Amino acid sequence: MLPNFKTTLLELVISCRSLKDEEHPTINPVCVLQTIPFGRSEFEEYAQTETFSNETDPVFREKIEITYFFERLQKIQVSIYNVSKRRKHSRSDKCLGSTEFTLAELVQASGLGKEKEIGPDSFVRLEARHPSDMRTVIRLKFGAKDLDDHDVFSKSDPFIRIYRKLNNYKSYRKLYESEVIMNNLNPIWNEFEISSRDFTHGSSDNEIKIECWDFDSADSADFIGECSTTVQQLLDGPENNDYKLINAKYKKKRNYADSGTVSIINLQTYC
């Protein structure tokens, strides 16, 4: 029976950056969390996330709930595996790296999270949040017009990636990647939802970057262009939210203006 400790429920948000596997060109990462149950001395599997396909910088969508005991040392072992084509993690999958956190250090980080190295220049990041922080949801819908055509015998197959700049870092956290729309230079992507906490990270001044890509295959894509704005500008809604996509590779060309326009078509916020 557990002692009468003061407790609170937390959600763990997990992401990685710059994952590497020298033996395999494709990385299909999954995160496995282990904890030490009360009264035990060894780690046991507690939960695992969904598996990403061909992604070196995953932001796992599945939030893992865990009870935090204020007066107890709670260690978490985090391991990242490269999953085979089975799409289901097994013990034979290669471990890309492991590290340990304590719930106390995550709570003390006050929502900023903690990042630790799991391999040469590869990192995993954990952030502990109260479930109430995740209740407000933002629903977004993007479209684009007049995109550059990167395909010879057809039109581009575009998709977008949306990033938020990390506070006090030069790097970005990927928030969302859309579906691919085949053979279309004026795509409208499906609506998607994201928690307000993930999107704003507590500040409406945070930078948001949108990249547009032309899908070639599961392992490659051609860069079309990118634009930057702020959380507040996007939250102002569809009006005056059109952004020119710029590809730095073409900026010096005499007649280059832009590589198309990306726009917000719809934005809703609700609890």
pLDDT of amino acid 173 = 83
Sequence-ordered alpha helix ranges (H) in 86-183: 103-108
The token pair at 99 is 């590290």
The pLDDT tens digits for 260-270 are 999 999 988 87
Phi/psi-derived region of residue 254, left when phi > 0, alpha when psi is between -120 and 50, beta in every other case: alpha
Phi (first) and psi of residue 199, to 5 degrees: -70, -45
215 beta partners: 221
Please determine, for residue 177, whether its predicted confidence score (pLDDT) is greater than 90: yes
The pLDDT tens digits for 185-235 are 999 999 999 888 778 776 778 899 999 999 987 667 899 999 999 988 888
The Cα 127–Cα 173 span in angstroms is 13
The Cα 99–Cα 80 span in angstroms is 9
**Closest by Cα among 101, 79, 74, 100 to 8:** 74
Q: How confident is the model at residue 140 (pLDDT cuts 50, 70, 90)?
A: very high
Mean pLDDT of the chain: 86
Spatial contact of 175 and 162, defined as CB atoms under 8 Å apart:
yes
Please determine, for residue 245, whether its predicted confidence score (pLDDT) is greater than 60: yes
**Closest by Cα among 145, 165, 169, 166 to 224:** 145
Q: What pTM, to 2 d.p., does this model score? A: 0.61
The pLDDT tens digits for 77-93 are 999 999 976 566 677 88
pLDDT of amino acid 1 = 44
pLDDT of amino acid 141 = 94
Mean pLDDT for 164-179 is 81
Q: Which amino acid is at 53?
A: S
pLDDT of amino acid 186 = 96
The Cα 85–Cα 28 span in angstroms is 8
The Cα 271–Cα 119 span in angstroms is 39
pLDDT of amino acid 97 = 95
Token pair 């990033």 is at which residue? 163
Please determine, for residue 76, whether its predicted confidence score (pLDDT) is greater than 50: yes
